[in-house]
């Protein structure tokens, strides 16, 4: 087993040394706005996992193909995140009308709206989903693409930041 591992490491080391600079040049030339470090590390991590699938005579082409796909996925992911962030920047606090029905003073509504606007897009998103869309637990995690535990922690922290923004408005 140790010999197999040593051979595998030697093959990967040779592949890395022989092709890193040409793959890096490809990514720089074709995807100047991609996160170069992310693309390169993902490309060579994939090469390590699939080392037995890479034909020696086609190593460079295989690596460039993986780098190309990785860069395209990274760009698509960034576009999705940017679109989502832009959409959440435009979220408005949906609570004032409902709060007004409960005789909440107008200055309190204003303080709540200001506190909500000061939150990051992701904090507004999770508070919106929990408070006004009624999502909890697994549903909240699924909506955010995270585990229920992670969603609970994010919601707790977002609520804390919301409270801090609200309290700061009462200070001179």
Query: pLDDT averaged over the chain?
Result: 84
Q: What are phi and psi of 135, to 5 degrees?
A: -80, 140
CATH 1.10.220.110 given to domain 93-168: no
Question: Is the separation of the CB atoms in 122 and 162 below 8 Å?
Answer: no
Distance from C-alpha of 62 to C-alpha of 67, rounded to nearest angstrom: 9
Q: What is the DSSP code (8-state) at residue 131?
A: I
> pTM (2 decimals)?
0.52
Higher pLDDT, 112 or 150: 150
Domain ranges of the chain: 2-88, 93-168
- For residue 171, the model assigns a pLDDT of 60
Question: Is the separation of the CB atoms in 23 and 64 below 8 Å?
Answer: yes
Does residue 62 have a pLDDT over 70?
A: yes
pLDDT (tens digit, 9 = 90+) per residue, 1-49?
566 688 999 999 999 999 999 999 999 999 998 899 999 999 999 999 9
- For residue 1, the model assigns a pLDDT of 55
Residue with tokens 């991590």: 45
Which CATH code fits 2-88?
A: 1.10.1740.10
């Amino acid at each position: 087993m140790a010999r197999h591992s040593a051979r595998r490491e030697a093959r990967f080391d040779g592949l890395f040394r022989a092709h890193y600079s040409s793959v890096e040049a490809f990514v720089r030339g074709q995807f100047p706005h991609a996160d170069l470090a992310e693309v390169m590390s993902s490309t060579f991590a994939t090469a390590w996992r699939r080392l037995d699938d890479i034909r020696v005579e086609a190593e460079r082409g295989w690596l460039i193909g993986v780098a190309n796909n990785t860069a395209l996925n990274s760009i698509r992911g960034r576009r999705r995140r940017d679109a989502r962030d832009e959409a959440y920047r435009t979220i408005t606090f949906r609570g004032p009308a409902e709060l007004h029905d409960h005789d909440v003073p107008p200055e309190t509504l204003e303080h709540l709206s200001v506190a909500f606007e000061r939150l990051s897009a992701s904090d507004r998103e999770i508070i919106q989903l929990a408070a006004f869309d009624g999502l909890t637990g697994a549903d909240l995690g699924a909506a955010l693409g995270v585990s229920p535990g992670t969603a609970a922690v994010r919601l707790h922290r977002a609520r804390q930041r919301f409270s801090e923004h609200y309290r700061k408005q009462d200070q001179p």
